[in-house]
């Protein structure tokens, strides 16, 4: 049976992010998010303690997402600190087997870089092979680059098309907006990415002035909102509340 997709959706999905250390903590977040209108889930596997990472346990957690598409990350931090990139990648495939659809391939997998986009030929080849394997197994691939700094328009566009060249179904770039000027520049970038990439991208920002881009970015074509059901110590505070994002999207008249 074909998995629910993140691609070709009629409007940007409301994706509830889950950053929990155990099934007992993750499942209530998923259930509460469904009641608040979640249309997809982002399960951040690096937060799960290692004893909860079997395919059987992941399948149990994912079952509470009902028929909603599932996006998974396997970043280097949290409970995955010290794992190799190969081990992080294999956790993604365990999640794919358990029912996830969209797998987050970090843009510096196999050759860490400060801004998460390696140009090392060997690492790039391994990423391309990883993405082919994801596709062969019926999954969708997202490449992510968390830049940790403000980047100008031409550099962001260059990164986006490099990710696309590697085979990404969804291009994810997270920049910064610490001033009103940077926010306005990011909004112009969002508009350009929407025109040139369509629904194949997810453009976000962190920083003091990032809120507006997070709230209206999907108007410019981003594939989904990344939201939280409620704020907890480990939550990404830049992400809007699910119910707030739903109200914004559902009442946007333009």
Q: Where are the domains of the chain?
A: 13-249
Would you state the pLDDT for residue 175? 97
pLDDT tens by residue, 32-41: 999 999 999 9
> How confident is the prediction along the chain (254 residues), in pLDDT tens digits per residue?
678 999 989 999 999 999 999 999 999 999 999 999 999 999 999 999 999 999 999 999 999 999 999 999 999 999 999 999 999 999 999 999 999 999 999 999 999 999 999 999 999 999 999 999 999 999 999 999 999 999 999 999 999 999 999 999 999 999 999 999 999 999 999 999 999 988 799 999 999 999 999 999 999 989 999 999 999 888 778 899 999 999 999 998 65
**Distance between CA 206 and CA 178 in Å, rounded?**
8
Give the fold, CATH level 3, of 13-249. TIM Barrel (3.20.20)
pLDDT tens by residue, 214-229: 999 999 989 999 999 9
Tell me the CA distances in angstroms from 234 to 19, 21, 51, 92, 98, one per residue in order. 7, 10, 20, 21, 25
Residues 6 or more apart whose Cβ sits within 8 Å of residue 119: none
Task: Give the sheet arrangement for strand 140-146, strand by strand.
Answer: 201-206, 170-176, 140-146, 102-106, 70-73, 40-44, 13-18, 224-227
**Distance between CA 29 and CA 192 in Å, rounded?**
35
């Amino acid at each position: 049976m074909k998995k629910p997709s993140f691609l070709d959706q009629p409007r940007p999905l409301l994706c509830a992010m889950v950053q929990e250390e155990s099934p007992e903590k993750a499942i209530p977040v998923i259930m509460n998010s469904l009641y608040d209108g979640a249309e997809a889930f982002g399960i951040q596997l690096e937060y799960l303690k290692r004893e909860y990472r079997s395919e059987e346990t992941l399948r149990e957690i994912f079952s509470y997402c009902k028929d909603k598409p599932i996006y998974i990350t396997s970043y280097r931090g949290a409970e995955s600190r010290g794992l190799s990139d190969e081990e992080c990648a294999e956790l993604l495939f365990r999640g794919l087997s358990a029912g996830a659809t969209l797998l987050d391939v970090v843009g510096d997998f196999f050759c860490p870089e400060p801004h998460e986009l390696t140009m090392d030929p060997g690492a790039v080849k391994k990423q391309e092979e990883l993405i082919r394997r994801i596709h062969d197994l019926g999954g969708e691939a997202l490449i992510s680059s968390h830049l940790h700094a403000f980047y100008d328009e031409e550099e962001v566009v260059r990164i986006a098309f490099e990710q696309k060249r590697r085979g990404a179904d969804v291009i994810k770039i997270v920049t910064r907006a610490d001033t009103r000027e940077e926010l306005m520049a990011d909004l112009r970038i969002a508009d350009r990415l929407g025109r040139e990439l369509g629904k194949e991208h997810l453009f976000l920002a962190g920083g003091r002035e990032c809120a507006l881009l997070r709230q209206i970015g999907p108007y410019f074509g981003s594939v989904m909102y990344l939201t939280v059901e409620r704020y907890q110590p480990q939550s990404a505070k830049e992400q809007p509340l699910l119910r707030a994002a739903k109200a914004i999207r559902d009442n946007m008249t333009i």
